[in-house]
Amino acid sequence: MLMADDTIENKSAYSCKDLQQHIIALEEAGLLHRINEAVNKDTELHALVRWQFRGGIAEKDRKAFYFSNVVDSKGRHFDMPVVVGALAANSDIYRIGMDVPLEDIGHAWQEAIANPIPPKEVKNAACQELVLEGHDIDGEGKGLDSLPVPISTPGFDSAPYLTAANFITKDPDNGIQNMGTYRGGLKSPTRMVVRMSTRNSGAGGYPHWEKYKERGQKMPCAVVLGCPPKIAYLGPQKMPRDIDELTVAGALAGKPIAVVRCKTIDLMVPADAEIIIEGLIDTEYLEPEAPFGESHGHIALEDYNMIFEVTAITRKKNAVLASIISQVTPSESSVIKKAAYEPMYLGHLQKTLGVKGVKKVSLHEPLTNIRRIIFIIFEPNTPRTEIFRAMQGAAMLRADTGKFVIAISDDINPENADAVFWSLAYRSNPAEDVEILAHRDRGHGPKSKTKTEDSTMLIDATLKGQMPPLALPKQQYMEDARVLWEKLGLPSLNPEAPWHGYSMGDWSEDWDKIAQRAAQGDYLINGLRSAQMKQKNIKPNTPVRSVKND
């Protein structure tokens, strides 16, 4: 283990509020639960936090959770705290992270995208106070296995997963870096498998991977854990692929972001991050990854995805591991997107398209992951032509958002389903007021075995066949977590169905066994299993069950 210099030259000129300063700000605002009792990261931690999203607690009362005494199912104690919900358990936490009033967030994003500020390289960085490589990361209890990475969906997930992670890659042709939020499933102390979406509007790192594959080279990749919030919020934003997200983060901060060169690969990473995982992504072999609870609200089943080989882990001496609540919405990830996307859509309709009469855009969040249903609220007497122009403009802004676009008057609350049904029942004529747009990207959702396209359309939404499980911890873990919740004296719960995960038919006995092993702390056995199944000459995201294995 090497010790790096602790100082950062001109830090105040090239830095923004880091994660730990943000945590202090949340505590001062009364938006942080400190949990000092031992909590099992494999079975209890995410299930406990999940209760504030499924327990009838109002959005304004949701908080970040800071766990100072983290253990696992093997009885190990970790010397690193874990924070969950610190990025966006509610919109007020997001506002504090952005350092702007909630009503100004849309304008802040528009200005930052239009006026990027390049980052500033520094020689010494807080994220490299400790540098571990070689023997320091190889072996059980070392490397990735030394990090208190939680299991997000106990009972279904195959391993601990990095969720609040920003993956940095670089285009080998033009040298422009991309930063995206992907998932990374732990397989061994020096190996994880990363899912970069291959669909349209998917992962910015995937085209980089294709270029390295053509060259017959492994792809350098840095995983940033615990970014300063203004940087972390860029990961899920889906910037154009020729824009370095760190330049937009600099514009949000109003000054260049301090970056430092990685120790073992040629990439620049935020100097004030908590932890950096450096490595190379294999472009020849892929390995089975998942099951894992996804933000579309179902369990993502096993696909073949990218093998990340760790070359070094650098970190602050007193690092905090950030994790994020995702899966069934509302969740932390949906709040991050909703707070930024709604003003983006409103600005697009009002300013870019110049549509008259639009007052507000609301992306439906509970269970539908904000991408599927868009409500547009109009002023009275808005011309019919403007209403349809707005709906078409909203449906076409993003390839993966807007399966249903519903125009309502300003006396209808889009968050009240009964009010929306009332509006549909008495204010619409399907023969005249419905338009179907074909040839849409199927977007972010549970995989279908045959579906390649989607559309903006009215459909019967009842369950018609087998689907992957609901992405919530199994009932036993949620019940145990509720006992812990009540023991800790947390606010009274009022459970909202569904509050636990259950099988919807597309779930095998084998996946159940590997999820059980993960919850028991034996995810490394699952890593050995998937290593034996690795394949080459197949495309990432290929379902495991579609490939013949011995």
Please report, for the domain that includes residue 350, its CATH number: 3.40.1670.10
Residues 350 and 313 in one domain: no
Partners of 132 in the beta sheet? 313
Looking at residue 437, what is its pLDDT?
83
Among residues 328, 358, 379, the one where a domain terminates is: 328
Omega prior to 291 cis, within 30 of 0: yes
What residue numbers bound the domain in which 94 lies?
2-328
Q: Residue 42: which of 525, 528, 515 has the closest Cα?
A: 515
The model carries a pTM of 0.83
Residues 189 and 306 in one domain: yes
Residues 298 and 360 in one domain: no
514 lies in some domain: no
135 lies in some domain: yes
* Burial class of residue 264, CB neighbours in 10 A (0-12, 13-18, 19+): middle
Residues 220 and 311 in one domain: yes
Q: Element (H or E) spanning 303, and its range? A: strand 303-315
Residues 300 and 348 in one domain: no
Residues 323 and 364 in one domain: no
Among residues 428, 456, 484, the one where a domain terminates is: 456
Residues 51 and 187 in one domain: yes
Residues 80 and 102 in one domain: yes
Residues 305 and 384 in one domain: no
Among residues 293, 328, 363, the one where a domain terminates is: 328
Looking at residue 167, what is its pLDDT?
97
528 lies in some domain: no
Which residue reads 């419905």 in tokens?
434
Looking at residue 8, what is its pLDDT?
41
Give the pair of three-digit tokens for residue 206: 């995937």
CATH number for 24: 2.30.110.10
Q: What is the mean pLDDT, run by run of 10 residues, along the chain of 550 residues? A: 41 74 98 98 98 94 98 97 97 95 88 93 97 97 98 97 97 96 97 90 88 98 97 82 91 96 98 98 98 91 97 98 94 89 90 94 90 89 88 86 88 85 81 83 66 60 58 94 97 83 88 96 96 94 85
Looking at residue 430, what is its pLDDT?
81
Looking at residue 13, what is its pLDDT?
55
Residues 217 and 366 in one domain: no
Looking at residue 269, what is its pLDDT?
98
Looking at residue 271, what is its pLDDT?
97
235 lies in some domain: yes
Q: What are the angstrom distances between the C-alpha of 445 and each of 303, 441, 453, 465? A: 14, 11, 12, 15
